[in-house]
């Protein structure tokens, strides 16, 4: 049986994945200590970073906690929701496309 060799000229175009910001929103019930706990535990911020972000949330109404690909951002939002519910807080986490 004859052997055939074929060269294919295929150009692959790789795109960077769409990134999403995860935000925490201020409310009148969630304690500042709990927000810092969320930022250190879920978002892996050190204490100083967590306190700075927590103050931004408190003063501005919301702040970006991290920027991730869709799947990770969605997971982080769900982790915040679950931990807040377990601890009796209404802390809201959302995600939005990074522009």
Average pLDDT of the segment spanning 52-80:
98
The CATH class given to the 19-97 domain equals: alpha beta
In 1-99 the beta strands, taken as DSSP E runs, fall at 19-25, 62-69, 92-97
Give the pLDDT band (50/70/90) at residue 14.
Answer: confident
The domain segmentation of the chain, as residue ranges, is 19-97
In whole angstroms, what is the distance from residue 55 CA to residue 45 CA? 14
Q: What is the pTM of this model?
A: 0.84
pLDDT of amino acid 1: 64
Query: Which region among 8-22, 45-59, 70-84 has the lowest average model confidence (pLDDT)?
Result: 8-22
């Amino acid at each position: 049986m004859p052997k055939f060799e074929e060269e294919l000229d295929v150009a692959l175009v790789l795109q960077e994945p769409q990134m999403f910001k995860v935000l925490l929103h201020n409310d009148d019930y969630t304690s500042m200590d709990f927000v810092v706990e969320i930022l250190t535990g879920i978002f892996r911020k050190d204490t100083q970073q967590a306190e700075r972000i927590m103050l931004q949330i408190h003063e501005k109404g919301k702040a970006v906690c991290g920027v991730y690909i869709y799947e990770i951002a969605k997971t982080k939002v769900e982790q915040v929701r679950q931990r807040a519910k377990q601890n009796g807080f209404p802390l809201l986490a959302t995600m939005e496309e990074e522009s």
